A = this chain, B = another copy of it.
Amino acid sequence: MNSNIFELEYRIPYYDVDYQKRTLITSLINYFNDIAFVQSENLGGIAYLTQNNLGWVLMNWDIKVDRYPRFNERVLVRTAPHSFNKFFAYRWFEIYDKDEIKIAKANSRWLLINTEKRRPVKINDYLYGIYGVSYENNNILPIEEPQKLLSIDIEKQFEVRYSDLDSNGHANNVKYVVWALDTVPLEIISNYSLKRLKVKYEKEVTYGKTVRVLTGIFSEQKTIVSLHKIVDEDETELCFLESVWFLNEKLS
């Protein structure tokens, strides 16, 4: 068990909620990315990585949301590096409301790479040390991969915008989710809540490129599942996503 638990409070600002004043899942992912970066910087990870041409590349999200915080609500986000396994790091996130109720959780998998050679690098003792990860604990966090897309109902193109870019010059990981969810029909977004999101990243994408989202949607009872594949102009696969939507309960 890693004791390097870090927490930050986030107040939900106006621009992080949708037209129903519910926080966007992409905003929750923004908080996860931010708190991971802040902790990594606090521990000296970012400085060490930069000096040694190393970087963490996000491979997977597996996110479960029970309740979306509302505008102006204050939530506590907790995270810790859970374990390392050769090239891979596992990190979890939890969101608590002011009554200490856990309203969302996420597991993530990251790959350590050499940023010049763009090749995986085995996680070394120094990184074990500063992230406080034990050698004994190399068990991985449970992360489900998205189901493969079999039939396409919707297709949409996006051009990578300047504001989509990360500090490394690639489209930020959350933008893949923005593009994918933008293909989900508004009647689903209005009447259903996204309770589970699985993302598998395959390849980065840069400024000015056009990406294409292929989406398949099927329903089972009170649930709708949307599957997404994102490809670039050469049909190279960039990302796979699966989102699970539950019908909102009507207030009587």
- B15 pairs with A174, CB closer than 8 A: yes
Query: A186 contacts B162, CB within 8 Å?
Result: yes
CB contacts (< 8 Å) of A51 on chain B: these are none
A33 contacts chain B at the CB level, 8 A cutoff: yes
Give, as a whole number of angstroms, the nearest-CB distance from A144 to chain B: 25
Kindly list chain B residues whose C-beta atoms are within 8 Å of the C-beta of A153.
none
Which B residues are CB-close (under 8 A) to A169?
Answer: 19
A186-B207 CB under 8 A given contacts A14-B33, A15-B30, A72-B38 = yes
Q: Does A181 contact B (CB under 8 A)?
A: yes
- Collect the chain B residues with CB atoms within 8 Å of residue A139's CB: none
B162–A41 touching, CB < 8 Å: no
Within 8 Å of chain B (Cβ to Cβ): is A168?
A: yes
**Identical subunits present:** 2
Determine the chain B residues whose CB is within 8 A of the CB of A37 once the complex forms. 14, 71
Q: Do B163 and A26 touch across chains, with their CB atoms under 8 A apart? A: yes
Cβ proximity bits A140-165 to B, threshold 8 Å, 1 near / 0 not? 00000000000000000000011101
Q: How far is the CA of A37 from the CA of B71 in the complex (A)?
A: 10
Given contacts A72-B38, A72-B41, contact A17 B167 (CB under 8 A): yes
Q: Which residue of B lies closest to A17 (CB)?
A: B167
Other A-B contacts than A21-B167, A38-B72, A161-B178, 11 sampled, CB-CB below 8 A, are: A14-B37, A14-B38, A14-B167, A15-B30, A15-B33, A15-B174, A18-B167, A19-B167, A19-B169, A161-B182, A162-B186
